């Protein structure tokens, strides 16, 4: 509480998270309103290890995080399981999803993907000092943390982002590294 001076120079989660100012927005998954085709396209056109799942484009409220691999397997399984799962099938990351009406035999079948979402990803606020973020990564052995402000998703920090941050610190000021 008496080291305000030091605090003003501290790097914060917001300085390390992606996307940076001017970068394209995060690649996210919407809880509703995405199709199987949208998700397959997302997986095909990106290489990220996973995607934050948000409740809506408006709120950007975080529901969870889905690993790329889990999403790919779930989509493949859904296609394999039913021939009514098509590119225009709606994907639901909700506990209760509509089931196919009995009349609509030829309708694209909705796909439920709620059970592949990690509902408790580690989150930090944008103002968390990186010193603490580093400690969280080290102590919990996590691969990514999501960054929020008032519950709104802002960005992501991966283990590699943290390592890059440490390397930068090392070059600038080796004594400032507070962890092992
Ligand atoms: P690697 O690909 O070697 O595992 P990584 O561990 O950083 O790298 P990735 O998930 O591929 O993991 O992330 C690459 C970069 O993209 C990181 O800087 C990360 O912050 C950012 N990133 C991760 N996920 C997303 C996403 N869904 N949308 C936008 N950027 C992301």
Determine the straight-line distance between the first and last CA of the chain, rounded to whole angstroms: 24
Cα 36 to ligand 1 centroid, rounded to whole Å? 22
Based on the structure, what is the number of domains in the chain? 1
Query: Residue 110 belongs to a domain with what CATH number?
Result: 3.10.580.20
Does ligand 1 lie within 6 Å of residue 101's CB atom? no
Atom 6 in ligand 1: residue holding the nearest Cα: 160
Question: What pLDDT, in 10s, does the model give residues 7-65?
Answer: 556 899 999 999 999 999 999 999 999 999 999 999 999 999 999 999 999 999 999 99
ipTM entry: 0.97
Does ligand 1 lie within 6 Å of residue 163's CB atom? no
109 is written with which tokens? 């079948």
Does ligand 1 lie within 6 Å of residue 158's CB atom? yes
If one residue of 49, 124, 166 were mutated to test the ligand 1 pocket, choosing by the most ligand atoms within 8 A of its CB, it would be 49
Q: Residue 107: which domain range?
A: 4-176
Report whether pLDDT(177) > 70. no
100 is written with which tokens? 């196919």
Q: Which atom of ligand 1 lies closest to the CA of 49?
A: 10
Question: What pLDDT, in 10s, does the model give residues 64-114?
Answer: 999 999 999 999 999 999 999 999 999 999 988 777 665 556 789 999 999
Question: What whole-number distance in Å separates Cα of residue 159 and Cα of residue 161?
Answer: 5
Q: Do residues 94 and 32 make contact, with C-beta atoms less than 8 angstroms apart?
A: yes
């Amino acid at each position: 509480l008496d080291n305000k001076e030091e605090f003003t120079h501290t790097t914060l989660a917001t300085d390390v998270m992606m996307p940076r100012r001017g970068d394209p927005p995060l690649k996210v998954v919407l809880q509703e309103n995405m199709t199987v085709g949208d998700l397959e396209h997302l997986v095909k056109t990106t290489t990220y290890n996973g995607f934050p799942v948000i409740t809506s484009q408006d709120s950007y409220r975080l529901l969870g995080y889905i690993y790329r691999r889990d999403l790919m397997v779930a989509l493949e399984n859904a296609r394999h399981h039913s021939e009514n799962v098509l590119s225009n099938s709606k994907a639901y990351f909700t506990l209760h999803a509509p089931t196919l009406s009995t009349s609509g035999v030829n309708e694209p079948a909705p796909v439920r993907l709620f059970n592949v979402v990690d509902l408790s990803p580690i989150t930090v606020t944008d103002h968390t000092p990186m010193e603490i973020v580093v400690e969280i990564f080290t102590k919990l052995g996590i691969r990514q943390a999501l960054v929020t402000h008032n519950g709104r998703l802002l960005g992501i920090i991966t283990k590699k982002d943290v390592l890059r941050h440490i390397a930068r610190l090392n070059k600038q000021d080796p004594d400032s590294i507070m962890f092992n």
